[in-house]
Amino acid sequence: MKNREIIEEINVQKLYLRKISLSDSEFFFASLKEAAVSKFLSLGPLTSKEHSKKLLKNYLKYWDKSTQFNYIIELRNDDNIKKIGSISIWNISWLHKRAEIGIWINPKYWSMGFSKKALNIIKIVAFNHLRLNRLEAHIAADNQKSINLFMKCGFIKEGILKEYLNLKGSYHDAVILAILTNLKIRS
């Protein structure tokens, strides 16, 4: 783990990213059974609370192997903690110092700036702590809100992969968006 620092929790103001835990399985299940949340996700919808727990166990194994880092996004005010979504750094190549990134937010927190803030925090983790050189997202071409979000966070559209994503049994083109370390946010 030379020159890498695994971050289990980080915050900017009252928005926290923290390592997922098995206690988050009910939140994952409740959130990912919503069609609005899982529409563009390869993993959803979750079929049961047990399915959710199994998914999180796998995420924790990946964390231990340093191949994927999944975080819960929380709003914290004094004694009040609200889980609002999840953000991940995954498909990590330590050789090439690159990874993919994904995010989902509960719809009642959409258009409030939390996704943008969470993406900017995860860029700090990826570039300043994990020492990655490149982050990329493969977003369904018809998910314009996510494409716009990533572009507002400094990601650049690099191209389109034809029929790259299999979402709920049908293939979708994916837009590749990426950001490099020389464009990072400094902590």
Check residue 171 and give its pLDDT: 94
**More confident call, 72 vs 168:** 72
DSSP the chain: -TT----SEEEETTEEEEE--GGGHHHHHHHHTSHHHHTT-SS----SHHHHHHHHHHHHHHHHTTS-EEEEEEEEETTEEEEEEEEEEEEEETTTTEEEEEEEE-GGGTTSSHHHHHHHHHHIIIIIIS--SEEEEEEETT-HHHHHHHHHTT-EEEEEEEEEEEETTEEEEEEEEEEEGGGPPP-
- Per-residue pLDDT band at 44 (split at 50, 70, 90): low
pLDDT at 1 over 60: no
Bond into 107 cis (ω within 30): no
Q: 144: how many CB neighbours lie within 10 A of its CB?
A: 11
37 has pLDDT over 90: no
Domain 9-133 coded CATH 3.40.50.300: no
**Bigger pLDDT: 183 or 185?**
183
Residue 41 pLDDT = 82
- Whether pLDDT at 145 is above 50: yes
* pLDDT over threshold 60, residue 185: no
The pTM assigned to this predicted structure is: 0.92
Model confidence at 32, in pLDDT bands (50, 70, 90)? Answer: confident
Identify the residue with better confidence: 183 or 142: 142
| pLDDT at 186 (0 to 100) | 43
Average pLDDT, the chain: 92
Tokens at 153, concatenated:
């966070």
Q: Kindly state the percentage of the chain with pLDDT values over 90.
A: 77
Residues 127-147 have a mean pLDDT of 96
Q: With 60 as the cut, is the pLDDT of residue 184 above it? A: no
Q: Show me where the domains of the chain are located.
A: 9-133
Is 38 or 130 the better-scoring residue by pLDDT?
A: 130
Residue 43 pLDDT > 80, yes or no?
Answer: no
- Terminal Cα-to-Cα distance of the chain (whole angstroms): 21
Q: How many Cα atoms occupy the beta-carbon half-sphere of 172 within 13 Å?
A: 18
